[in-house]
Structure 1
Amino acid sequence: MTDYSIKIHNELQAWKRKMIKQSGLINQVSKKAQKKVNELIPEKVHKMITVSIKSMVKTTLVGSNITTNRRQATGLSLYERDELFKKKLLSFRKTAVIEGAGTGAGGILLGLADFPLLLSIKMKFLFEAAAVYGFDTNEYEERLFILHVFQLAFSSDEKRKEMLHIIENWEEQRKMLADIDWREFQQEYRDYIDLVKMFQLIPGIGAVVGAYVNYNLLDRLGETAMNAYRLRLLKVTP
């Protein structure tokens, strides 16, 4: 094992501990409140939202796969892949900040447009991440892996533990996965971002909040994606 591999191995262990760590009190209270709200929403509304987000994500997956450049990822060491990934993250994070500031400054109507725009940026970024680490997103299983990375980044404590287990054991787990639970996917994601995104709709501070929140959301997704692909490449065991 090289010095860099040892360094990454240690970083992965710290990251895994962070991912299974219990959320703070505020997040726990927020999650309980959101759960109560979800219970009050009629089932037909849940189904409508699920279908809409499923369609939105699948459309984004197709578009992202078409526009992703995979040629640059061949013959690179893990260090080179990590450095290239960090450059990609920097670029996408800037895009997300600009998008968040723009929609935040536009009030409620543009604020509502932020959801599909930011989702598109995140999915495109994950396709670029897969390419950097040498995985072919033409394969269905790789697109399925991307969705699990997304869920790992933006889910509740319990769901995050489940996703981490699947990603750590992907070679075995993928044989049992035909698709994801779209109802759970959209609900976990909405619950994760609803509270912080709500402040983006407030006139006067929306632009600042939108930029700040989007920066942090892309940062979290970047950290999650990088370590998820490192796990696969290094075959790290708990």
Structure 2
Amino acid sequence: MQTLTESEAYLRSELEQIEKWESEQKDLWFWEKLGRLPFELLDRITPQFVHEKVGAALDEIGSFIQTGGQYLISEKAILAQVEKESLGKEGVVGFTLEDVRRAPLEAMDRSADALAESRANIAAAQGATTGFGGLFTLAVDIPVLLGLSLKVLQEIALCYGYDPQEKQEREFIVRCLQFASSDIVGKKAVLEELDRATSDAGGERSAVSQLQGWREVVAGYRDNFGWKKLFQLVPVAGMIFGAYINRGTLKDVAEAGKMLYKKRRIVERLNAGAGA
């Protein structure tokens, strides 16, 4: 594996782009403000079996944090993807996670972008399928979309050299999910917490471990796109809305994962350079 040649100036330039993106995330989109209004009504008219599905999704998040649950992915395939982006060919060296950590940042970005696009297409197909049946298939759509979100975040973690098999990383993944589904106040809180974690030596583990509110993460995930699901309640027409909404949701989740993991990798490289 070749030694990295990324300059400090390049890393700081990339970090600036991420910080600009973070600043843009702190503005609440008009439709997100409007979205708070109809969800209460939706909640009241939603049948009990839909609420039960959401409750099951809450339990699955707990299982994911503890054990990885049913959302474990193929590490080998992701490592091969980063190897291909790094060397222009696959299977020559046989990348390990340690090799990924030393890979060029651009190769990590390309791998993450390719995964995000692929998973967004899967989510769109899923949304179209469940949108066809209206309210009754909505009960299936929420936990499936949640599962797809957790999978793509694990894959992006691997793209930047972090191991989702570690509980600490799964907690960070849930924070990424929380960020993607939060309003302006929630996004700001998550960013401030993660900034404290990376600035304090050895403080990251304690910061991301404070997940007493993980149930609120999933409740917020449901609430913040609940208004959009109103359009998906109409049978057949819901196919169009379902595909569009799910694709957009997955792309938002993947973007949050990419930016937050990329920032960690950049900060670690800058710190390593300063200590060299």
TM range (shorter): 0.7 to 0.9
Which residue number in structure 1 is paired with residue 35 of structure 2?
30
User: Structure 1 residues 51 and 202 mapped into 2: Cα distance closer, same or farther (>3 Å)?
Assistant: closer
Q: How does 1:185-196 map to 2 (within 5 A)?
A: 185-196=217-228
- 1:18 maps to which of 18, 24, 30: 24
1:138 aligns with 2:165: yes
Conserved in 2, the CA contact under 8 Å of 1:50 and 1:182? Answer: no
Q: Name the amino acid aligned to 1:200.
A: Q
Which runs of 5 or more structure 2 residues have no equivalent in the other structure?
A: 1-6, 45-50, 81-96, 271-276
Which residue number in structure 2 is paired with residue 104 of structure 1?
131
User: Structure 1 residues 112 and 34 mapped into 2: Cα distance closer, same or farther (>3 Å)?
Assistant: closer
Q: Name the amino acid aligned to 1:8.
A: E
**Structure with bigger gyration radius:** 2
Distance in 1, matches of 2:149 and 2:238, equals 20
User: Structure 1 residues 22 and 121 mapped into 2: Cα distance closer, same or farther (>3 Å)?
Assistant: closer
The structure with the largest helix share of the pair is: 1
Distance in 2, matches of 1:114 and 1:156, equals 22
Q: Deviations over 1:65-113 (max 9, x none)?
A: 3544464352421110000111111110111011011111133222221
Which runs of 5 or more structure 1 residues have no equivalent in the other structure?
A: 41-46
Q: How does 1:168-179 map to 2 (within 5 A)?
A: 168-171=195-198, 172-176=203-207, 177-179=209-211
Distance in 1, matches of 2:219 and 2:15, equals 33
TM-score (norm 1): 0.84
Which stretches of structure 1, 4 residues or longer, exceed 6 Å deviation after superposition? Answer: 35-38, 47-50
TM-score (norm 2): 0.73
Aligned partner of residue 62 in structure 1, secondary structure: coil
Aligned partner of residue 225 in structure 2, secondary structure: helix
1:219 aligns with 2:251: yes
Number of matched pairs: 231
Q: Deviations over 1:129-151 (max 9, x none)?
A: 11111001121111100000000
Aligned-residue CA RMSD (Å):
2.9
Q: Cα offset for 1:49?
A: 7.9
User: Structure 1 residues 50 and 222 mapped into 2: Cα distance closer, same or farther (>3 Å)?
Assistant: closer
Q: Cα offset for 1:59?
A: 4.3
1:55 aligns with 2:46: no
Distance in 2, matches of 1:191 and 1:155, equals 10
Name whichever of 156-165 and 171-180 sits farther off: 171-180
Aligned partner of residue 211 in structure 2, secondary structure: coil
Which residue number in structure 2 is paired with residue 163 of structure 1?
190
Distance in 2, matches of 1:120 and 1:233, equals 25
Distance in 2, matches of 1:90 and 1:217, equals 12
